[in-house]
A and B are shown apart, each in its own frame.
Chain A
């Protein structure tokens, strides 16, 4: 059915084309603001989340704090054993398992003394998980690669020799030769090793110096797919901690949760700014609708006096608001794609997430909000029109 009240509204919009267009532009701006801001926030969130997940794909397994029964002696062997390592490998499946030896010790470079962490790692693993920025990776005994901070502090070069261990006149300290320097990782270490302040040596050299062969201080599991985190953790826990807690399993997934929540409140904030423009648009729609009502008082009087129901008058004006809203929302929706894309590419520099549903959903959402704002702004003018006294309205010139 073609509704005559809809026809009347269309004609009123057409008759006051410029005025209606200006009001619609308000909605266009509002819709564009809401959807591009929303998309900007979401894209930012998606990108940061993705960057973060590359850092949280590591599960660190460390020996549990040893607690001895009263009277019993505390075992000196507090590491992860070879048997446990094998169990971890079984449980970890396809994921990379990296046993790590670690200790804190003093070292000397020339006449300078320092203190830092020494890691013993399988040279094959070093190649996989460390990012050497200068020199090469460890190939043999007596070779070391050093972290960026330590290299900088002691002015280490490729070939520099480091004496490891406490200075002791009666013992000759072992010496390693620097073959590589790692790039700086800061806190965003993606492999669970804070390598900036570390000296990394091969596992065999480490065991020779510090003992503890077949016992490890920490085992890292690098996940291929971060979404399997809990699954793998549970599998390891079930396998290794069968009878009692012997290892502690930890990850940094709590970090991503807190960063995500920060970002999502940031998105809300950006959206709130976008909403202000819709508020302005609402005012302009309200204004246009009020003008439309007051210009058509006599017409409303005619409609009422010849038997138009109040509800029909209301409908006529709500249609008008609806038409303005549709025009604004459709134009706004189209422009949101263009402007949103430009904003995301200009401010984030990465549009690879733009066309994901999480991001694009802001366009229909913005359009819907624009429409709702329009209709809500039309409610009062429509109500006012329908509640006029026909006699007074007719007399209005």
Chain B
């Protein structure tokens, strides 16, 4: 962990033009997240959590200001470069799991490897990552609709991990799970953080946020506590 942070937001604003006037979702935000941090992003609905999430996940570009991820300015990248960055640097874990319904659990995890190496996985990496989240071969053959919520989220985490990203970005990862399953998922994330991943967690649940080492509180598009 040297001087340059893994993620740097410099005076970032995101404005959505609406018929009723412009809506400022993010209002001049500046913050740094260093490699190896476990950050919880909190705030009431409408505070800009999701917008922030999209910015950090390189799914969107800010209206003004600059975002640097792993030292690169997002705004100056081409669409394809951003796509490759999403594939290689960031792992996404969504509230609704967002597995690909047509693919089995194994294929869902193998998918990012295929995107990266343009060929099917022969290294056993996908199976190994699935095993680390408690999936055996038999369960890996199931389609997402044959799995419980907790199982689906494990597969989603495995998918996020398979390309060995620096950042794990979780959007309400326990939002669709019961408390017990939710804590199991959180235990996996804690383990990942211990292995050196930078984990960013969006949640409105204070109990979940407690797992993090740093909490960023958003309100009306501004950071009120960091």
Partners in one complex: yes
Q: Give the interface of A toward B (CB within 8 A).
A: 1-2, 4, 7-8, 11-12, 15, 298-299, 301-310, 312, 390-391, 394
In the complex, what residue of chain A is closest to B116 when comparing beta carbons? A307
Q: Which residues on B sit within 8 Å (CB–CB) of A391?
A: 54, 59-60
Which residues of A have CB within 8 Å of B101? 299
Residues of A within 8 A of B115 (CB): 306-309, 312
Alpha-carbon distance between A312 and B114 when the two chains are bound, in angstroms: 11
B77-113 vs A, Cβ < 8 Å mask (1 yes, 0 no): 0011001111110001010001111110001001110
Inter-chain contact B103/A309, CB cutoff 8 Å: no
Given contacts A1-B119, A391-B60, A394-B98, contact A306 B88 (CB under 8 A): no
Residues of chain B within 8 A of A4, CB atoms compared: 103, 107, 110-111, 114, 120
Q: Are A305 and B79 in contact (CB under 8 A)?
A: no
Quick check: is B57 within 8 A (CB to CB) of the other chain? yes
Q: Does B49 have its Cβ within 8 Å of any Cβ on chain A?
A: no
Docked pose: A12 CA to B100 CA in angstroms: 11
Chain A residues near B197: list those with CB within 8 A: none
Chain B residues lying within 8 Å of A302, measured Cβ to Cβ, are 98-100
Complex formed: what's the CA distance from A15 to B101 in Å?
Answer: 11
Tell me if B159 is interfacial: C-beta within 8 Å of chain A: yes
Are the C-beta atoms of A303 and B100 separated by less than 8 Å? yes
Q: Is the CB of A307 within 8 A of B86?
A: yes
Q: Show 17 A/B contacts (Cβ-Cβ < 8 Å), sorted by A.
A: A1-B119, A1-B120, A4-B103, A4-B114, A8-B100, A8-B102, A298-B98, A299-B101, A301-B98, A302-B98, A306-B92, A307-B116, A308-B83, A308-B87, A309-B80, A309-B84, A390-B59
Residue of B nearest to A298 (CB): B98
Residues of B95-153 at the interface with A, using a CB-CB cut-off of 8 Å, are 98-103, 107, 110-112, 114-116, 118-120
Q: Chain B interface secondary structure, helix, strand, loop or mixed?
A: helix
Which residues of chain B have a CB within 8 Å of any CB of chain A? 54, 57, 59-60, 79-80, 83-88, 92, 94, 98-103, 107, 110-112, 114-116, 118-120, 159
Q: Is the CB of A305 within 8 A of B120?
A: no
A307 touches B87 (CB 8 A): yes
**Cβ-defined contact, B100 with A299, below 8 A:** yes
CB–CB A310/B60 < 8 A: no
**In the complex the two chains form, what is the Cα distance from A308 to B92 in whole Å?**
13
Q: Tell me which of A7, A12, A307 contacts B83 (CB under 8 A).
A: A307
User: In the complex, A306 Cα to B158 Cα: how many Å?
Assistant: 13
Given pairs A4-B107, A304-B83, A391-B60, 11 additional interface contacts (CB within 8 A): A301-B98, A302-B98, A305-B92, A306-B86, A306-B111, A306-B159, A307-B86, A308-B83, A312-B115, A390-B59, A394-B94
- Is the CB–CB distance between B100 and A309 below 8 Å? no
Least Cβ–Cβ distance between A389 and chain B, in angstroms: 8
Given contacts A11-B102, A12-B102, A302-B98, whether A307 and B112 have CB atoms under 8 Å apart is: yes
Given contacts A299-B101, A391-B59, contact A307 B88 (CB under 8 A): yes
Q: What are the residues of chain B within 8 A of A1 when measuring CB–CB? A: 118-120
On whether the beta carbons of B59 and A305 are closer than 8 Å, the reply is: yes
Chain A residues whose C-beta falls within 8 Å of the C-beta of B111 in the assembled complex:
4, 306
Highest count of chain B CB atoms <10 Å: which of A8, A301, A305, A391: A305
B165 to chain A, nearest CB (A): 10
